[in-house]
Amino acid sequence: MLGVLCLGCGALLARAAATTIRAPLMLPCGFAVVIVASSLATAHSATASFASPLVVGLAVAGLCFLPRRRPGRDTCISVAVGVTTFLLYGAPVLLSGDPTFAGYVKLDDTATFLAFADHVLDNGRDLSALGPSSYEATLAVYFASGYPLGAILPLGVGARLVGTDPAWVWQPMISFAAALLAMTLYALATQLVPSRSLRALVALVGAESALLYGYALWGGTKEVAAATLLALTAATLTHAVRGGPREVLVPATVFAAFIGVLSVGGVAWLVVPGVALLIAPGTRRLGRAVAFCGFTAVLTLPALAEAGAFLSDDNVSTLRSTEELGNLVRPLRLRQLLGVWPTGDFRIDPEHNGLTAGLVVVAFTGLALGVAFAWRRRSWPVLILASTAAVGVTVFFVAGSPWLAGKALAIASPVALFLAACGYATLLTGRRTRVALVLGGLLVAGVVWSNVLAYQGVWLAPYDQLKELEQIGNRFAGRGPALMTEYQPYGVRHFLRRLDAEGASDLRRRPVRLASGAVLPKGEYADLDEFDLSELSTSYRLLVLRRSPVASRPRPPTSSC
């Protein structure tokens, strides 16, 4: 469904810009339109409910303008690359047989993002209709900081159109964004790698960066979406040079989508492509610059409206704190940028230090070759992409927290790996075929090894348990407030939101004290009899408890489910 929406929106963007968008870039450009359109609609509570109809309307209009001709070889190959990438990113869930998602236990941000998808497409950032609950408290904290929502909106739109809970399409959404990344890299490699089959391999390898793959199996939808749009900024710059002012609508839309995903903090990534666009030679330079700035300003209005909250002193202090690790166990290594890291968890060092060091050297050599060949062949989009990634990583590595620097490495890592693959693919077409085969083969083997280990270390969410929480949330909707005594953020922040549920060790509005007068730290559990039952009976009408032969049973007047 999301693919059809992106196809239609991409075609409409081409029509509006009076240009032709290359076939491999049609879906990625449509993805940017979906983000921008839904961001504009949800910027105000009065128009938020029109986000999904707006996206559908744009897609239908665009499909009417889609050329009626058989797809060419480039189109078919790029789609095949995208489908393969989708299957590789989705493999842990697809092969499990359940519509679950990865990253359970390791990171609970997915529960928060699902709360965004539940609320924003109906009410925007307005929380006035919500009762006190963990769901409401979570949204209040994140919305107060101006948290960007761009990466979540396509998930919400897609889930509503197929009539399912966003949790069950979470992993397909991440895999879809990764597929768009591969298609974009395929288009970028055209000038460097003339062979379509080699180009497909280069794009596939670049999209399978071990660090980005690890973040995807962690629920990192923002990182995957940002990596896709970062590559797309470089791939669409030609539209700003070859035609009239209307054509800059294409890169302006991509820039706006990128900022919608990362908020105004994402501007640091866009300095290089923005300057390149404005100073590029060609006619109508002034008109092009004015049109680009005007389009971008209008399309980024939702992000600009939240800029004050996002750049508040408290928020910036946290984002720049050298002690802010988030869920990392240590700051990530800069060499993880190269996309080869053979370990089941990207947060820790590989066991095989010698082999890893060798693979890192191979990747770095390929990266240097890729940049050199791009310079020799004047492949400006690839060079701009390389410079963009280098500047972005430098800025966030120097000025950001370790948590933020890790995200920057993940976003830029496909660029480094893509350049390395381009280097060996270009070398393969020259005189040093054997060297290219050996080193390129080692690079591919290192990527495969890294991702196989990540696949083996994945944590999948317990589908049966979460499905039961979804059923409880539907059955008892409006009969809360409810309490969960275990730490289950997916329950209180998402599935039980219509029960005004709270977690005893999660964000909440009501006091949930133990009999000793203490409160549970985040993530902890206590048996029901350890709580102040008189307080619970006056604060909650329902208890949502896991069935257990050793756990205490609730007493009247509180009901359990």
pLDDT above 60 (res 558)? no
Q: Is the dihedral of CA 100, 103, 108, 113 positive or negative?
A: negative
The band of 282, judged by pLDDT with boundaries at 50, 70 and 90, is: low
pLDDT digits (tens, 9 = 90+) for 393-421: 999 988 888 999 999 999 999 999 999 99
pLDDT above 80 (res 227)? yes
Average pLDDT over residues 155-165: 92
Residue 546: partners with Cβ closer than 8 Å, 6 or more residues away: 486
Average pLDDT over residues 323-350: 90
pLDDT for 112 equals: 94
pLDDT for 250 equals: 93
Average pLDDT over residues 445-464: 93
Average pLDDT over residues 460-487: 91
Amino acid letter at 186? Answer: Y
pLDDT digits (tens, 9 = 90+) for 181-213: 999 999 999 988 888 999 999 999 999 999 999
Distances (CA, A) of 438 to 254, 347, 372, 442, 474: 37, 29, 20, 6, 57
Buried b (16+ CB within 10 A) or exposed e, 268-295: bbbebbbebbeebeeeeeeebbebbeeb
Residue whose token pair is 């009247």: 556
pLDDT above 80 (res 555)? no
pLDDT above 70 (res 243)? no
CA angle 411, 17, 378 (to 5 degrees): 55
pLDDT for 412 equals: 96
Amino acid letter at 138? Answer: T
pLDDT for 276 equals: 84
The band of 160, judged by pLDDT with boundaries at 50, 70 and 90, is: very high
pLDDT above 80 (res 169)? yes
For residue 551, what are its two tokens?
Answer: 């756990």
> In terms of C-beta distances under 8 Å and separation of at least 24 residues, what long-range contacts does 539-542 make, across chains too?
539/481, 539/483, 539/510, 539/511, 539/512, 540/480, 540/481, 540/482, 540/483, 540/502, 540/510, 541/479, 541/480, 541/481, 541/482, 542/476, 542/479, 542/480, 542/481, 542/482, 542/483, 542/499
pLDDT for 385 equals: 95
Q: Provide the 8-state DSSP code for 502.
A: E
For residue 33, what are its two tokens?
Answer: 């339109």
pLDDT for 216 equals: 95
pLDDT for 560 equals: 55
For the beta carbon of residue 441, count every other beta carbon within 10 angstroms: 12
For the beta carbon of residue 227, count every other beta carbon within 10 angstroms: 32
pLDDT digits (tens, 9 = 90+) for 355-366: 999 999 999 999
Percent of the chain with pLDDT over 90: 60
Lowest mean pLDDT among 402-411, 456-465, 527-536: 527-536
- Is pTM, for the whole model, over 0.75? yes
Lowest mean pLDDT among 95-99, 392-396, 551-555: 551-555
pLDDT for 526 equals: 80
pLDDT digits (tens, 9 = 90+) for 5-57: 999 999 999 999 888 899 899 999 999 999 999 999 999 999 999 999 999 99
Q: Taking every pair of C-alpha atoms in the chain, what is the biggest distance, in angstroms?
A: 82
pLDDT above 70 (res 338)? yes
Q: What is the mean pLDDT of the chain?
A: 89
